[in-house]
Amino acid sequence: MSRFTSSTAGSTSIVPTSITSLDRYDEDPTFKFTNIHDLFRIIDSISGDSLIFTEISPSNFARVDHERSKRRRKFRWRLYHAESQTLIVAITTRVHEVLHLTIYLQYHARLCRAGTETTWATIGATTFPSGGDFGEGDSTGAPSPQRDRKGSWPTLVVLGGCSLSLNQLRNVMRWWFSASSHDVKIVILAKFDRGQSKIILEKWEEAAATRPEATTTRRAAAVQQMTPVLRQEITIRRDEAMNPASYNVTRGPLVLEFKLLYLRDPGPQETDFIIDIPDLQRYAEAVWRHV
């Protein structure tokens, strides 16, 4: 059995919320779209879990999406961004699936232990359209029955990534908040860095930022604007110098706020959901078993 150590700390930062284009980063495997045949060939040749296609028009994306359904392929459209004509593809490798699903199941297990699993709807990788864009999460869910219907956005989105950069995952995070008109309340990014032997978990929420804006009467008015805020950044490092390997957690545990998930204040016997340090260590151990 692995040995575990831990430490705790806090983290908060703010990033812009507007989505006008997708930044490109050299570390992300990127290909220019040429035709549908080559797109599928490239996807089949990639060893990682993510890649990016550029210059893919909305009409070509519609054809690619149809072909994916026709071939019954299981990879996901992490995000199609119509304005920049950029498609991010998530390939469902075993590590990718364990990376996001195990965190989500940790949360869902707490619902089951409390006997409240029927108050929650698991939505999975449902496709969400928004103004010509399309996004598919890895693990998503929402309160039932409030958001348990077609067209309703999840309150919780979990996104995993191995070969996709953390910066690009953050681009996708911003899209979920913006595209949902802020119906999405929590986005968890799970980034696996094999080279550094670590997993990074980022929990993003939104907060109202205020800025002064002159009115016709020359008086200042408070104008609210929702901005993504990094509430937690948890790092889990694997120490292979130990035998068996140890998993060191910093800035844990992971806390999911009841009010954001359920869109109401907690009642009697209800509280925030805490994924504690031992569970985070077991989570990391599960991920590394599939590397």
- Work out the pLDDT band at 211, boundaries 50, 70, 90: low
The predicted model gives 46-71 an average pLDDT of: 96
pLDDT band for position 23 (cuts 50, 70, 90) = low
Mean pLDDT of the chain: 89
- β-pairing, 246-250 vs 3-7, is parallel
Phi, psi of 5 (to 5 degrees): -135, 165
Determine the pLDDT at residue 243: 86
pLDDT digits (tens, 9 = 90+) for 250-290: 998 999 999 999 999 999 999 999 999 999 999 999 999 99
pLDDT at position 242, please?
A: 84
**Does 9 score more than 70 pLDDT?**
no
Residue 218: pLDDT over 80: no
Closest CA to 42 of 214, 16, 34: 34
Provide the pLDDT for residue 212: 55
Residue 275 near residue 106 (C-beta atoms within 8 A): yes
Q: Give the pLDDT band (50/70/90) at residue 221.
A: very low
CA 160, CA 168: separation in Å to the nearest integer? Answer: 11
What mean pLDDT do residues 230-248 have? Answer: 94
